[in-house]
Structure 1
Amino acid sequence: MADKDDNKRPIIVKRKKVIAGGHHGGAWKVAYADFVTAMMAFFMLMWLLNATTDKQRKGLADYFSPTIAVSRVSGGGEGALGGRSMSADASQVQLGRGGITSSEANGTTVEDAELMAVEAAIFGKGGDSLLDEEMLRHVSVRLSDEGLVIEFFDLPSSPLFEGVAPTPLLRKLIRSVGGQLRARPNAIAIASFIAAEPVVTRRPQVWRMSNGRADAVRRLLPVAGVSDARVVRVTGHADRRPVASDPLSSRNNRIEIIILRDRVAPRR
């Protein structure tokens, strides 16, 4: 009888009613996450403004600027936004800088663009190179804070000097880049570096040789049509700044001709 009474008991099912937005739901979490992200971005921006130079900030701004033109003339005008025509500076177009007149996307200045145009001409980036393939093996060009550094260096079987006397190869190298040196009015500096001598050398000659080689290159510039008056510094560094891990390597025998920044040479 007890079992029959149990079967007759009503079955009560309790269902919890879920109300949308109860306790504000989960939307607040999304809003809070957006707020935290925005604050992090704001503090990052404040840090960048305080920790960077004007040139770096210009580079950051240019990074987010469009660099591909959709028409021959860029939008805007001389109004508040200061838009400019891509052909406003003809020299930049001639230099192959894509019509960007004031700076490149990485903060490159007009002077940088002009100096890099010399590098492009030497290596033939815009057409035929000034040097043949064999001569190019002796050449390295880089842009530094001081200016454009044109470096000529020895190869194991092909030296540029015999003692302090320039070889025909070096004479040809300097004549080949003479046109680009003449095209820029900037002052010029010459630096010479020598591979280290063995420790057993009785009378080290690195200082005498580096000074002699630097002066020999100075005397070669007028032969290439470059006025000697433009040379403002001739320096022999001996073996003090090797570029190869082995101080005795012939790669350390090199000459640097530097087209200096922001200096105008006297009349040629």
Structure 2
Amino acid sequence: MVRRRREDIHINHERWLVSYADFITLLFAFFVVMYSISQVNDSKYRVLSDTFIEAFNQPTDSQTNAEPSEQLNPSNDVITPIDMGKTAQTTPEQQEAPSVISNVGEVANAISSVATAVDPSTKSDELSQISDLVTEKFSQLIDDQMVQVSSNELWLQIELKDSILFSSGSAETSEQAQKIFDEIAAILKGYSNPVQVEGFTDNIPINSAKYPTNWELSSARASAIVKYLTTKGVAPERLSAVGYGEYQPVASNETDVGRAQNRRVAIMVAKRKMDRPKANLKPSPDNIVR
């Protein structure tokens, strides 16, 4: 009896086909679900997008007095529900509604403008712009070594030889000088940088009733240029005149060439206005004027 039962046992070697069929069925179902998810309903997506735009553009208190046609939603508290199953139909109000991203871009541009206004590097850029304009305008005089343009992080210097500006011993500007200062004024009046005009002479003494020393001559020349620039539109509060006389030479006064280099006028354009420190004097017996 025992031998017969063992002989009746039959082993099925093809059971793996059942598991394989189940796996294939599940895999097919998975790809069907993935395909159905990948299909986006454009109309429903458009309705959802318009709903968000309308929600973020609710009229503020300053818009409550606007015309009804200008308001996106007549109620500030309730958003009208939209049937997501229907085809989206864009209303004129929704077409005219500004994008949230556009509004954010406008705010970012405004913040960038303010940051640029207070950025110290902007002033350095202004000096570079003025330098480029002067170099372009007076390229021929620069090549003839009658005008020199140099700068650092605080100042832009425009140096002119006095031979093209004034006659000997005079502070009256020549016609060529007036044309030069017309161009310089046209450039400077477009900016707000402070401007200091400096006059220099050689060491040859001058003794006239109008200019007893080179101090007076150099100061008079600087003042004449300042006055001329104001007549051409440069704000007078930006300008100052300084006369150094013969005491800041750039070359030796022993030769004619060196003295010619020392007779010059420098227009100094500052990066920013430097306020002078105010004296805080307390009444005392030593500083009371009697």
- Normalising by structure 2, we get a TM-score of 0.46
- Normalising by structure 1, we get a TM-score of 0.49
Higher gyration radius (CA): 2
Give the structure with the larger helix fraction: 2
